[in-house]
Structure 1
């Protein structure tokens, strides 16, 4: 099985092209062996490896695509024109052997199935080479329609390859005529050709001279009428950020190795790291003494404390502290948007009375009156109205939206903006990832119209790997808390329950993904001029851990019995 995830496509059973009463996707090994033997491994590597999920009563069928590549995949339509030309030429040259295979009766169904694609962004680029996804599929339930394959091929992969020869047409039984028709004589003789005098070329010559002069002027520096619009967030900027992340991961590995090499286990079972703390970032008591009822922990502990053990003081109700998990659950929401393509889901969080922050791309395309928030912090879905939005990220450097939710009385997160670095600090990402909602029974019930069904909130932990500037006005936190589609717009929270970033996108790597959160400073700039007036704090985080239970408190080892020595 290839290890690089490329994309995921939701399908219907009718979209699957079949061959021999089996979906072509299930014959991938056979297709790969055929192409390797008859056309070479480079041709076989053009087709991504599919993983077909049949779905169930609540989840639709889907196909996940994988390939043995090292670099992150990019849609062919999104690479530079020069690279597009190179990849297109490579694709055309390496698809050519399929012309002959498609005409062999023994292999025609399998090859034609591989050449049948959905048609929208079905070619990706990784390692500088094309990879075809969405093959073995025809949209609109057309998988079983043999008659539509040729026309659909010509509109999709046929753009890169001349279509294989159609089956020969049977000769007509009607004998051919024994004569060749002659053209009819014209009723009037043709007029003699008109001669063009040299003077007639003068206007054209003047026009060419004027056009050349205008073109020369436009090519001069500073005279371009329509300057090229470059994206604010470029691929180079994200590549530089990824390189910075790799450097930070190597440094993190060194820190962990040093902690492992210098760790000491006391006689009472307490593990002490070289910095004199426990792995949870606590100062250990003296041997023979129990841990205190509450303790301050380091925000960058190697082993973060669980969210149900960390105590957070609510400024609105300081006498009733909550756990970190309760704080997050009471302020994070599910954002639902009805679009022309169906229902989409994202995440958001409360930033003020009746005000929710999310990403602009989460609500993009939402029809009027088709925007709502739900979740444990809200209860039944409540209608939401956009107050302000800016995006997309690549063009504007921002990806924020502010929603008004009338009647929402959930408490608001405080926002952290300090002078120090957050690097290596423990963080929690909260939201509603799509791969979890797909199998969430409450979400299925909510989609079916059961307003009281509340999907479960997903929280993942990690550390801030690095802080990076990827655009003139765009600052991000790269972190290791697991994210996926649906986490967009959700909060990134420190161990004191303050929002330190807005989760916005993921970069996929060969082994794992890395999440990116837009920094709080960028969010505050966006909120200027709106009704939102979030509480902003700048004090460094000092997590407070809940009381230790007697069972969890370390004990002194029992004294040795001299009679048994």
Structure 2
């Protein structure tokens, strides 16, 4: 898999160009082999490697593009005119062999698939080399239309393969053309001398040139029509929409609580019964005077969240001895310390198995020489971490992810939950190491003094998912009511079955309360594609197992 991210595009299922009953994008390896053999490795290297995310009923497919490069990629249209001309000439020289392949009946389907691009910023440039992205796609659901490909090609990549039209040469008499200038007969009279222009005649032209230069300088400034500034992926409009959605969710929550309170009944043994016949934590109450069972199935969207120390999570090492949720979180959540030129920063992270740790990009972004260490209750000592992959920062890319590797393959990992439906009103737990708590933690103080055995206590907060929001085309978040603060970044947001549903990433401060945001699981899974991480995934709906509180004894009659 190529290592440098170039771009990403959201498409419709019918946009994929098909050949031999399969999308051309799935034949990238075959295309590389064909082009390397018939046109050379430089031509094969022009076509970026696709990473396809098929989406689902609610999310459209996306294709991320990668190449073997190291520098930052940018669209061809954002380069200087001279650089655009150089890249265009390179593409013209190297794409011409594909014309021959497109006329070969045995290879035409694959060649035309490669030459068919979406038509929006299809050429990216990194390290001074062009890479073609969005190939194998046609807009407006025309992927299956072979007849439309030639015309679409002429309007897209075809512009790089047109030969420039040569200017017609003037017709010259052979005798005159062959005669050297010095051989002109001496008898030929010199032409009449030309009239000299007054210096003042050049003034209007000079003024026009100065005006044109000033206009060109203005156009080349970032923010103008010619070179507009790159817009941030996370905009104020997007966050405002998210706040409005959250407010609507909170009003809905208040209404449901008021309705439940109005219809609730308290039995003689102290068990509160809501209008739906369940207890506030979603349990089916036993008959009056009968104790709750030691373990019962609760509702994931119960009116009141179950206490984390009463929620039971299966223990793979001892199936008959389940862990409580707090222990489950303790053994899988880690403190992430990053040391760079600007100092030391603390954040949170969590294990997904085989020594892989997920956190936020901004937690470890302290410069080129940053050292990263992770500390956890289930780790024997602080361990140095290697950065496997990063994507961020959030405002510019829409992502805020980092994947770390530590030498602790036996560290238990969280299961990742791919929700088949909405998580709104589901009870959740946020786990991490908030900075305002670490400031008063004696173990953290000891750790900073060099005591490797001092592990700070994990902080957990509970709440519900208020709403699900799309802040940018490729940025999906869960807004929830579990309190977060600086230091929670990169920690897990888990459901009442102990599965991770998102990565806590930022807090937006309001006049009365803070809003907590977690990046949603579809974006996490897309980031992990192409990495060695192989987390356990599940789509099974949560059915929490809890230890119920004991019912009070009914008062004795006098």
TM-score normalised according to structure 1 size: 0.61
Looking at structure 1, the residues matched to 218 and 373 of structure 2 have their Cα atoms a distance apart, in angstroms, of 55
CA spacing shift, 1:322–1:234, aligned 2, 3 Å: same
Matched with 1:198 is 200
CA spacing shift, 1:271–1:525, aligned 2, 3 Å: same
Q: SS of the counterpart of 1:523?
A: helix
1:556 equivalent in alignment to 2:558 = no
Whether the aligned pair in 2 keeps the contact of 1:502 and 1:519 (CA below 8 Å) is: yes
Whether the aligned pair in 2 keeps the contact of 1:430 and 1:492 (CA below 8 Å) is: yes
1:526 deviates by 0.1
Q: SS of the counterpart of 1:521?
A: helix
1:216 deviates by 11
Looking at structure 1, the residues matched to 216 and 408 of structure 2 have their Cα atoms a distance apart, in angstroms, of 62
Structure 1 stretch displaced more, 208-217 or 388-397: 208-217
Write the deviation string for residues 374-427 of structure 1: whole angstroms up to 9, x where unpaired: 021324210001010000111101100000112352100001112111111110
Whether the aligned pair in 1 keeps the contact of 2:358 and 2:402 (CA below 8 Å) is: yes
CA spacing shift, 1:379–1:456, aligned 2, 3 Å: farther
1:532 deviates by 0.7
Q: SS of the counterpart of 2:525?
A: helix
Write the deviation string for residues 100-123 of structure 1: whole angstroms up to 9, x where unpaired: xxxxxxxxxxxxxxxxxxxxxxxx
Q: SS of the counterpart of 1:318?
A: coil
Matched with 2:296 is 295
Matched with 1:207 is 209
CA spacing shift, 1:270–1:226, aligned 2, 3 Å: same
Looking at structure 2, the residues matched to 535 and 423 of structure 1 have their Cα atoms a distance apart, in angstroms, of 23
Matched with 2:345 is 344
Write the deviation string for residues 13-54 of structure 1: whole angstroms up to 9, x where unpaired: xxxxxxxxxxxxxxxxxxxxxxxxxxxxxxxxxxxxxxxxxx
CA spacing shift, 1:435–1:199, aligned 2, 3 Å: same
Whether the aligned pair in 1 keeps the contact of 2:469 and 2:478 (CA below 8 Å) is: yes
Matched with 1:252 is 253
Matched with 1:419 is 420
Matched with 2:486 is 485
Looking at structure 2, the residues matched to 365 and 414 of structure 1 have their Cα atoms a distance apart, in angstroms, of 29
1:215 deviates by 7.8
Q: SS of the counterpart of 1:517?
A: strand
Looking at structure 1, the residues matched to 487 and 546 of structure 2 have their Cα atoms a distance apart, in angstroms, of 30
Whether the aligned pair in 2 keeps the contact of 1:369 and 1:383 (CA below 8 Å) is: no
1:543 equivalent in alignment to 2:544 = yes
Whether the aligned pair in 2 keeps the contact of 1:338 and 1:367 (CA below 8 Å) is: no
Q: 1:371-386, aligned counterparts within 5 Å?
A: 371-386=372-387
Q: 1:117-132, aligned counterparts within 5 Å?
A: none
CA spacing shift, 1:209–1:433, aligned 2, 3 Å: closer
Write the deviation string for residues 442-487 of structure 1: whole angstroms up to 9, x where unpaired: 1111111111111111000001000111110111000000000000
Matched with 2:477 is 476
CA spacing shift, 1:218–1:388, aligned 2, 3 Å: closer
CA spacing shift, 1:214–1:347, aligned 2, 3 Å: closer
CA spacing shift, 1:205–1:369, aligned 2, 3 Å: closer
Looking at structure 2, the residues matched to 545 and 210 of structure 1 have their Cα atoms a distance apart, in angstroms, of 75
1:505 deviates by 0.3
Whether the aligned pair in 2 keeps the contact of 1:426 and 1:462 (CA below 8 Å) is: yes
Whether the aligned pair in 2 keeps the contact of 1:299 and 1:426 (CA below 8 Å) is: yes
CA spacing shift, 1:541–1:309, aligned 2, 3 Å: same
Matched with 1:331 is 332
CA spacing shift, 1:286–1:531, aligned 2, 3 Å: same
Looking at structure 1, the residues matched to 540 and 493 of structure 2 have their Cα atoms a distance apart, in angstroms, of 17
Whether the aligned pair in 2 keeps the contact of 1:337 and 1:366 (CA below 8 Å) is: no
Looking at structure 2, the residues matched to 251 and 528 of structure 1 have their Cα atoms a distance apart, in angstroms, of 37
Write the deviation string for residues 141-175 of structure 1: whole angstroms up to 9, x where unpaired: xxxxxxxxxxxxxxxxxxxxxxxxxxxxxxxxxxx
Q: Which runs of 5+ in 2 are unaligned?
A: 1-197
Looking at structure 1, the residues matched to 475 and 219 of structure 2 have their Cα atoms a distance apart, in angstroms, of 36
In the TM superposition, structure 1's runs of 4+ consecutive aligned residues that sit over 6 Å from their partners are 215-219
Q: 1:146-545, aligned counterparts within 5 Å?
A: 198-199=200-201, 201=203, 204-208=206-210, 210-211=212-213, 225-315=226-316, 317-366=318-367, 368=369, 370-545=371-546
Looking at structure 2, the residues matched to 353 and 235 of structure 1 have their Cα atoms a distance apart, in angstroms, of 39
Q: SS of the counterpart of 1:325?
A: helix
Q: SS of the counterpart of 1:201?
A: helix
Q: 1:2-21, aligned counterparts within 5 Å?
A: none
Looking at structure 2, the residues matched to 512 and 454 of structure 1 have their Cα atoms a distance apart, in angstroms, of 30
Whether the aligned pair in 2 keeps the contact of 1:290 and 1:555 (CA below 8 Å) is: no
CA spacing shift, 1:492–1:199, aligned 2, 3 Å: same
TM-score normalised according to structure 2 size: 0.61
Q: SS of the counterpart of 1:357?
A: strand
Q: SS of the counterpart of 2:247?
A: helix
Q: SS of the counterpart of 1:241?
A: helix
1:367 deviates by 5.4
1:509 deviates by 1.3
Q: SS of the counterpart of 1:267?
A: coil
Q: Which runs of 5+ in 1 are unaligned?
A: 1-195
C-alpha root-mean-square deviation of aligned residues, in Å? 2.3
How many residues end up aligned between the 2 structures?
A: 360
Looking at structure 2, the residues matched to 279 and 372 of structure 1 have their Cα atoms a distance apart, in angstroms, of 42
Q: SS of the counterpart of 1:244?
A: helix
CA spacing shift, 1:544–1:213, aligned 2, 3 Å: closer
Q: SS of the counterpart of 1:293?
A: coil
